[in-house]
Amino acid sequence: NFNINLILINRFFIIHFLTPMIMLMLILIHLNILHLNKSSNPLGFNNKLDLIFLNPYSLIKDMMMLMLLMIFFLNLNLFFPIILNNFDNFNEMNYFNTP
């Protein structure tokens, strides 16, 4: 029997709640700065009408990167589930302390 202590709860909170929120905020900042401000100007024109707005290459590139990132984390969790774990979490349960 094993108990769940504060270390495990903190790690669960950080990995399963804060990390996706941070990634979502970074993606939104990326979309706002790079795509909505028409920052892509491959031809070097000064005219605002010639700027490319949300170019399909950038959209496809962002979706491919997101898919690769998800595949990486999925494979990491499925094939090596203990690689990110801390073995301090596997403390044997003390029957005199546990309710």
Residue 40 CB partners (closer than 8 Å, separation 6+):
34, 51, 52, 55, 58
Please give the single-letter amino acid code of residue 52. Answer: I
pLDDT, one tens digit per residue, over 11-66 is: 777 788 888 889 999 988 887 777 665 555 666 666 666 555 666 777 788 889 88
Averaged pLDDT, 71-99: 76
Q: What is the pTM of this model?
A: 0.41
69, 61, 76: which is closest to 30 by C-alpha? 61
